[in-house]
C-alpha cells in the first residue's frame, strides 16, 4: 500500500510522471518531498468530506483542512467547494484528482516491484457493478479471488447508477451495453441476452405466443427502471430488424428478482437478462418462448482507467472475468447450461 513517507520509489515515480505527462504547470509545483498532501487531497475527494477523510487517515479534521488549504495556496487554485454540510470538487479539483489517481496507482505498483512482490495482488480492489449481474455473476468471482489471494481486500459496490470511475476512486467498473469513447480502457468478457419467459401454469391457461405481435393477447409483467421511473421497453429482432415495443401491462415491478418470482407464480410473461432466469428455466419453473426473436446480445465489459502500470489486483480481476466469460454465439439450452456453470468456480470453462 502507498504510505505517506518519502521513499526512493515515490521520488522516481513523480519525476517519471512529470516527464511523461503534460500536466498543467501549476500542478507540477506540488512539493513531493512526501505524498502527504496528495494522499490527504485524494482521501478528502473520495469521501466528499474532511471529517470522514480525517477518520480514515487517523488525523483531525482541522489538520486535513489545513493540508488542503496549503495545497490550494501552493497551486494557486481552489480545489473544493465548501459548505457547512459537505465539500465537493471544483473543475480544477476534478482535474487534479484524475492525475493523482494515476500517480498513486503507479507509486503502488513500483513499491510492490521494489519489495519483490511483483504480480502478487494486495491492497483493496474497489469495483462497482450493476446490481443483478453483480450479485449473480461477479460476486462468486470476487469470493474466489479473495480466497486465492489472502493479501487482497474487496470493496464491491452494487448499484444501477452510473459511477464515475475516476471521481469515485474505483479500480474498475462493470458496464453492460456499448461503451462511449471516454478515454478509459475496456475489456469485453461476457454478454447479456434478453429472454422472454413464463411459467408452465401460465402457458396452460394462455397458450404460447408465436411472435412478438401476439403479446397483445398476453399478460406482460414490466420492469420499471428505478433510476428513471419509466417502464423498460421489450426488444426483439424480427426479420433482421430491431423491434422495440411497450407491451400492455397491469403489473409493474422495480426489482428484477421480484419480477422472476411473479412470473413463476403464473402472473404473466417477463423479458429479463438470461442470467436472472437461468435457475428457474433449468428446474422447469419457467420456460423460454419467442427464442427465435431474441434481440442482439449486449456486451458486458470491465472498464478501468489505464492499461499502463496496471496494479496486480486489477490484472487478476480481469483475468478471472475473462476466463469465466460467455463467448458469443451461445443460444437456447446451451446458453442457459453455460450460465449455470459460471458461479461455481473461477477457472477456465471448457466450451459446451
State pLDDT tens for residues 215-269.
999 999 999 987 788 899 999 999 989 999 999 899 999 888 999 999 999 999 9
Closest CA to 72 of 83, 60, 81, 85: 81
pLDDT by residue (tens digit) across 30-61?
A: 554 456 788 888 888 877 788 888 887 888 88
Last residue of a domain, one of 293, 309, 333: 293
Within this chain, do residues 317 and 172 fall inside the same structural domain, yes or no?
A: yes
Q: Assign 3-class secondary structure to 71-139.
A: HHHHHCCCCEEECCCCEEECHHHHHHHHHHHHHHHHHHHHHHHHCCCCCCCCEEEEEEECHHHHHHHHH
What's the pLDDT band for 119 if we cut at 50, 70, 90?
low
Q: Quick check: 258 and 251 in contact, CB under 8 A?
A: no
Q: What is the pLDDT of residue 342?
A: 43
* Lookup result for grid cell 489486483: 313
pLDDT by residue (tens digit) across 136-192?
A: 899 999 999 999 999 999 999 998 888 888 777 888 999 998 887 566 788 898 999
Q: What is the pLDDT of residue 106?
A: 66
Rounded average pLDDT over 87-108: 78
Confidence check: pLDDT of 11 > 50: no
Confidence check: pLDDT of 20 > 60: no
Within this chain, do residues 36 and 79 fall inside the same structural domain, yes or no?
A: yes
Q: What is the pLDDT of residue 215?
A: 94
Within this chain, do residues 54 and 138 fall inside the same structural domain, yes or no?
A: no
Residue 133: inside a domain: yes
Residue 153: inside a domain: yes
pLDDT by residue (tens digit) across 57-90?
A: 888 888 888 888 888 888 888 988 887 777 888 8
Q: Which stretch of 8-17, 212-221, 294-303 has the lowest confidence by average pLDDT?
A: 8-17
Last residue of a domain, one of 114, 137, 155: 114
Residue 185: inside a domain: yes
Within this chain, do residues 318 and 330 fall inside the same structural domain, yes or no?
A: yes
Residue 334: inside a domain: yes
CA–CA separation, 313 vs 30, rounded Å? 28
Residue 337: inside a domain: yes
- Per the structure, how many domains does the chain have? 3
Confidence check: pLDDT of 214 > 50: yes
Within this chain, do residues 61 and 145 fall inside the same structural domain, yes or no?
A: no
Q: Choose between 127 and 50: higher pLDDT.
A: 127
Confidence check: pLDDT of 17 > 60: no
Within this chain, do residues 58 and 173 fall inside the same structural domain, yes or no?
A: no
Confidence check: pLDDT of 201 > 70: yes
Q: What is the pLDDT of residue 326?
A: 59
Within this chain, do residues 316 and 231 fall inside the same structural domain, yes or no?
A: no
Within this chain, do residues 42 and 164 fall inside the same structural domain, yes or no?
A: no
Interacting residues of 270 by C-beta distance below 8 A, sequence separation 6+: 196, 197, 198, 220, 221, 223, 259, 260, 262, 263, 277
| CATH number where 246 lies | 3.40.190.10
Cell of 31: 512539493
Instruction: Classify the C-alpha dihedral 12-97-131-272 as positive or negative.
Output: negative
Residue 58: inside a domain: yes
Residues in the chain: 352
Residue 49: inside a domain: yes
pLDDT above 90 coverage of the chain, percent: 39
Q: What is the pLDDT of residue 275?
A: 92
Q: What would the DSSP string read from start to end of 171-203?
A: SEEEEESPPP--S-EEEEEEEE-EEEEE-HHHH
Within this chain, do residues 286 and 323 fall inside the same structural domain, yes or no?
A: no
What's the pLDDT band for 24 if we cut at 50, 70, 90?
very low
> Residue 308 belongs to what domain range?
123-191+298-344
What's the pLDDT band for 21 if we cut at 50, 70, 90?
very low
Within this chain, do residues 206 and 303 fall inside the same structural domain, yes or no?
A: no
What's the pLDDT band for 25 if we cut at 50, 70, 90?
very low
Within this chain, do residues 30 and 174 fall inside the same structural domain, yes or no?
A: no
Within this chain, do residues 20 and 100 fall inside the same structural domain, yes or no?
A: yes
pLDDT above 70 coverage of the chain, percent: 75
Last residue of a domain, one of 114, 138, 167: 114
Q: How much is the mean pLDDT over the chain?
A: 79
* Lookup result for grid cell 515515480: 13
Amino acid at each position: 500500500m502507498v504510505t505517506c513517507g518519502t521513499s526512493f520509489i515515490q521520488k522516481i515515480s513523480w519525476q517519471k510522471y512529470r516527464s511523461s505527462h503534460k500536466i498543467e504547470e501549476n500542478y507540477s509545483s506540488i512539493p513531493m518531498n512526501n505524498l502527504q498532501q496528495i494522499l490527504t487531497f485524494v482521501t478528502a475527494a473520495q469521501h466528499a468530506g474532511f471529517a470522514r477523510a480525517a477518520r480514515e487517515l487517523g488525523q483531525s479534521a482541522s489538520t486535513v483542512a489545513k493540508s488542503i488549504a496549503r495545497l490550494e495556496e501552493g497551486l494557486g487554485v481552489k480545489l473544493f467547494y465548501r459548505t457547512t454540510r459537505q465539500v465537493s470538487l471544483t473543475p480544477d479539483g476534478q482535474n487534479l484528482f484524475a492525475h493523482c489517481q494515476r500517480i498513486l496507482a503507479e507509486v503502488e505498483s513500483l513499491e510492490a516491484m521494489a519489495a519483490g512482490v511483483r504480480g502478487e495482488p494486495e491492497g483493496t480492489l474497489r469495483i462497482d457493478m450493476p446490481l443483478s449481474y453483480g450479485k449473480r455473476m461477479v460476486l462468486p468471482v470476487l469470493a474466489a479471488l479473495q480466497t486465492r489471494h489472502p493479501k487482497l481486500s474487496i470493496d464491491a459496490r452494487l448499484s444501477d447508477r452510473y459511477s464515475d470511475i475516476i471521481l469515485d476512486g474505483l479500480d474498475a467498473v462493470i458496464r453492460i451495453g456499448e461503451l462511449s469513447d471516454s478515454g478509459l480502457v475496456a475489456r469485453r468478457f461476457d454478454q447479456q441476452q434478453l429472454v422472454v419467459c413464463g411459467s408452465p401454469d401460465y402457458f396452460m391457461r394462455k397458450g404460447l405466443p408465436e411472435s412478438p405481435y401476439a403479446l397483445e393477447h398476453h399478460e406482460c409483467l414490466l420492469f420499471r427502471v428505478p433510476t428513471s421511473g419509466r417502464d423498460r421497453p421489450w426488444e426483439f429482432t424480427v426479420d433482421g430488424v430491431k423491434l422495440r415495443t411497450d407491451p400492455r401491462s397491469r403489473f409493474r415491478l422495480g426489482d428484477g428478482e421480484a419480477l422472476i418470482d411473479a412470473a413463476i407464480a403464473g402472473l404473466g410473461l417477463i423479458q429479463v437478462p438470461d442470467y436472472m432466469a437461468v435457475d428457474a428455466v433449468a428446474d422447469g419453473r419457467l420456460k423460454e418462448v419467442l427464442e427465435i426473436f431474441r434481440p442482439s446480445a449486449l456486451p458486458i465489459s470491465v472498464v478501468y482507467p489505464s492499461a499502463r502500470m496496471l496494479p496486480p489486483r486489477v490484472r487478476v480481476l480481469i483475468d478471472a472475468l475473462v476466463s469465466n466469460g460467455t463467448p458469443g454465439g451461445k443460444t437456447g439450452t446451451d446458453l442457459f447450461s453455460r450460465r449455470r456453470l459460471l458461479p461455481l468456480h473461477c477457472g477456465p470453462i471448457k466450451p459446451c
